[in-house]
Chains A and B, each alone.
Chain A
Amino acid sequence: MKPLIHQAPVMLRVARKEVHSRDFASLYFDHSLDFQPGQFVMVWIPGIDEKPYTISYHKKKRFGITIEAKGIFSKKAIGLKPGDLMGFRGPFGNGFTPMPSPDIAIVAGGCGMAPLAPLVEILDKHIFFIQGARSKEFILYPDRFEIKRQICTDDGSLGHRGFVTELLEQEIETRKKDEKRPFEMVYACGPEIMMHRIFMICEDNKIPCQVSLERYMRCGFGVCGACVCGEQVVCKDGPVFESKILRTMADFNTIALLKSGKPVDLAQYFSWRCQS
């Protein structure tokens, strides 16, 4: 039997708060976690709710989560101050498998940057790193990394105007033309439609990829079934899935369950998630 890490929530005080922009902030906690990039914690605000958050910052004795103010919980969370209490269970799930190679692409869309940030920090300094967002002010952690970034925004307010997937395709083609080594792995997180497009691009080019999925969760450890996606349990088998599994996941980029368990298309799912 695997050792259990956290069972009932561990209450921690906010050690530091970093406001990134109007809608984004990171909260830091002084606590050691045995952690793999891409894993998540269940975060409890007593009296409000409990939600899964990826760990966006990880050092020996401090970790952080990044919050986008969207619904009731996240608006409450973003209003917390140093000294305020939050409960944590986890870390849960399977994260990214880091590969020690420069021939790696990281593709982050919007707040999908959060789970990839601790991964970027442990990978080779010469990886190909694409980050996209709606506009300039939604580019998370603008000053955090030493690695060069290819930025793109939907409105062109910073970097390339267009989609992260266009930059990825261009680079794959350039590498072919210049007879450079192809990518050995693409790590991606962002809107599911973006991740699905990246998966398809990778399939066409025979590149393995790992993407991080999101579904409504309850237990966090693979028992309650709230987050099932096809035959996979997102909280336990994922949230990071590799190409081999993605190929078999009928519900990837198509179906997600509402809180009631009702399967709906992703547009309906995400419009509900953004309010809850």
Chain B
Amino acid sequence: MINFLGKTLKNPLVLASGVLGNNSGILKRVHRNGCGLVTMKSIGPSPRDGHKNPTVIDLGHGMINAVGLPSPGYLHMEEEWKDLEKRDFPLIASVYGGSVQEYQDVAGFVSGKKPDCIEINISCPNSEQHGMIFGVNEKSSFDVVSAVKKVINVPLIAKLTPQAPDIACIAKACEDAGADAICAINTAGPGMVIDIEARMPVLAFQKGGLSGPMIHPIAVRCVYDIYRAVSIPIIGLGGVTTGKDAVEMIMAGASLVGIGSAVRYRGIDVFQEVNNELEAWLQDHDVTMEEIRGAAHGTISAPNNGSAQ
């Protein structure tokens, strides 16, 4: 059992936002299949369809997507909340907005529905008006987090983008604004794939966020930088596909490890499998997760010793 922000989790694995989390049934199944903490698909201020297809393409070594933040809108989800009220698993509700006020409106309302945590998505690259535009700047990250913190009564997780010029500074700004944890990273890029026969970008939105094994080294570096800058726990994710990838994230400084695109490569059972592989590795090396957390920082490592700048 793991303790995370006062909640007891059966293991350190987290379902990344935007993956599968579209109804309570599938969230329940992901939890049953070995995921300690599941995240709902990001909830927005108003009904939104997202982009036209193609929206998600597998590139083999990872995926590119521009789903575009579809959401029924926070005021139109009564059925889901009713189902989730009866849940027997821990849940993160992810929220996004197009302004500080919208983040506040959505998060304040969602807090009343009693998720275990609220994650604020200041990192999605697939909308011009939402998400990432807030997370690339220290001041706007600070403003969103501090505004949301005032209106919610569950722990706040800030989900960050690797597009920030210095993700450690953003993480520090979020911590200073009252964030209880950091989740890193959202998709990288954005990138583009052009079909040379059609002579046009494959994604209808043209560009999209990269995920999966191809971004794992970026994610590890981000978590490593963030760990040196903050003392709040980190959910490390980005391309984690195996137990060894999870070990690497923990050594970079992650307290929990998120999984998203790996569902493509190993199915929903990936959670149970990665957890088994992680436990086997720890057992083989006769160490606990706590003992290896941040191990890659060596002797100079210590959270709270300032930003990585």
A interface list, Cβ under 8 A from B: 1-2, 4, 7-9, 11, 42, 44, 46-47, 49-51, 85, 87, 89, 218-226, 228, 230-233, 236, 250-251, 257-263
State whether A1 touches B266 (Cβ < 8 A): yes
Contact indicator per residue, chain B 21-49, by CB within 8 Å of chain A (1) or not (0): 11101101100000000000100000111
B137, CB-defined interface residue at 8 Å = no
What 3 pairs across the A-B complex have the smallest Cβ distances? A262-B72, A50-B53, A219-B56
User: Are the C-beta atoms of A260 and B71 separated by less than 8 Å?
Assistant: yes
Which of B22, B79, B267 lies at the interface centre, i.e. has the most chain A CB atoms within 10 A of its CB? B22
Q: Are B71 and A223 in contact (CB under 8 A)?
A: no
Q: How far, in angstroms, from A251 to B25 measured CA to CA in the complex? A: 10
Closest residue on chain B to residue A4 by CB atoms: B60
B200 to chain A, nearest CB (A): 5
Write out the residue numbers on chain A whose beta carbons fall within 8 Å of the beta carbon of B18. 224
* Pairwise interchain contact B195-A262, C-beta atoms closer than 8 A: no
Given contacts A218-B67, A228-B20, contact A8 B55 (CB under 8 A): no
Which of chain A's residues have a CB closer than 8 A to the CB of B263?
Answer: 222-223
Q: Which of these, B29, B47, B58, contacts A4 with CB under 8 Å?
A: B58
Known: A46-B195, A228-B20, A228-B22. A89 touches B57 (CB 8 A): yes
- Enumerate chain B interface residues (CB-CB to A < 8 A): 18-23, 25-26, 28-29, 41, 47-50, 52-60, 63, 65, 67, 70-73, 76-77, 79-80, 193, 195, 197-198, 200, 202, 204, 260-261, 263-268
Q: Are A223 and B50 in contact (CB under 8 A)?
A: no
Q: Are A233 and B264 in contact (CB under 8 A)?
A: no
B residues near A44, Cβ cutoff 8 Å: 53-54, 198, 202
A221 partner residues in chain B, CB cutoff 8 A: 58, 264
- A49-B52, A261-B22 given; A231·B29 CB < 8 A: yes
CB distance B47 to A260 under 8 Å?
A: yes
Q: Which residues of A contact B266 (CB under 8 A)?
A: 1
20 further A-B pairs in the complex, CB-CB below 8 A; given A85-B198, A224-B67, A262-B72: A1-B266, A2-B265, A8-B59, A8-B202, A9-B54, A11-B197, A46-B200, A87-B198, A87-B202, A218-B67, A219-B65, A220-B56, A221-B58, A223-B19, A225-B19, A260-B70, A260-B71, A260-B73, A261-B22, A262-B77
Contacts of A85 in B (CB 8 A): 197-198
Cα A2 to Cα B264 in complex, Å, equals 10
Q: Verify A46–B22 contact, CB threshold 8 A.
A: no
Q: CB-CB < 8 A to B73: which residues of A? A: 260
Query: What A residues does B57 contact at CB under 8 A?
Result: 7-9, 89
Interface contact A226-B202, CB-CB below 8 Å: no
Q: Is the CB of A228 within 8 A of B202?
A: no
List residues of chain A with CB within 8 A of the CB of B264. Answer: 219, 221-223
Shortest CB-to-CB span from A50 to chain B, Å, is 4
Tell me what chain A mostly uses at the interface: helix, strand, loop, or mixed: loop
**B241 smallest CB distance to A (angstroms):** 9
CA–CA, A95 to B18, complex, Å?
26
**Given contacts A87-B195, A222-B263, A50 and B54 within 8 Å (CB-CB):** yes
Most buried by B among A4, A9, A261: A261
Instruction: Looking at the assembled complex, report how far the CB atom of A70 sits from the nearest CB atom of chain B, in whole angstroms.
Output: 16
Complex interface: chain B residues within 8 A of A9 (CB):
54, 57, 195, 202
Closest chain-A Cβ to B94's Cβ sits at a distance in Å of 12
Complex-state Cα separation, A49 to B266, whole angstroms: 28
State whether A223 touches B23 (Cβ < 8 A). no
Give the complex CA separation of A142 and B256 in angstroms: 58
A228 vs B50: C-alpha distance when bound (angstroms): 17
**How far is A258 from B76 in the complex, measured between Cα atoms in Å?**
12
Question: B23 touching A228 by the CB < 8 A rule?
Answer: yes
Q: How far is the CA of A224 from the CA of B77 in the complex (A)?
A: 19
CB distance from B171 to the nearest CB of A (A): 27
Whole-angstrom distance between the alpha carbons of A2 and B269 in the complex?
Answer: 13
Closest A residue by C-beta to B263: A223
A224 to B54 alpha-carbon distance, docked (Å) = 12
CB–CB A262/B76 < 8 A:
yes
Q: Among the interface residues B18, B21, B72, B260, which one has the most CB atoms of the partner chain A within 10 A?
A: B72
**Contact call A218/B55, Cβ cutoff below 8 A:** yes
Chain B residues near A4 (CB-CB < 8 A): 58, 60
Question: With A46-B195, A46-B198 in contact, do A224 and B55 touch (Cβ < 8 Å)?
Answer: yes
How many Å lie between the Cα of A51 and that of B80 in the bound state? Answer: 27
Closest A residue to B28 by CB, please name it: A231
For A258, the chain B residues whose CB sits under 8 A away are 49, 72
Is there an interface contact between B28 and A223, defined as CB atoms closer than 8 Å?
no
- Contact B198 A226, beta carbon cutoff 8 Å: no
Contact B54 A42 (CB under 8 A): yes
A225 touches B26 (CB 8 A): yes
Q: Is the CB of B261 within 8 A of A223?
A: yes
A223 touching B56 in the complex, CB below 8 Å, given contacts A231-B28, A260-B50:
yes
Which residues of A are found within 8 Å of B54, using beta-carbon distances?
9, 42, 44, 50
For this complex, 28 residue pairs linking A to B, each with C-beta atoms less than 8 Å apart, are A2-B265, A8-B59, A9-B57, A42-B54, A44-B53, A47-B200, A50-B204, A219-B55, A219-B63, A220-B56, A221-B58, A222-B20, A223-B19, A223-B264, A224-B56, A224-B65, A225-B21, A225-B41, A226-B70, A228-B20, A228-B25, A228-B26, A233-B20, A251-B25, A258-B72, A261-B71, A262-B76, A262-B77
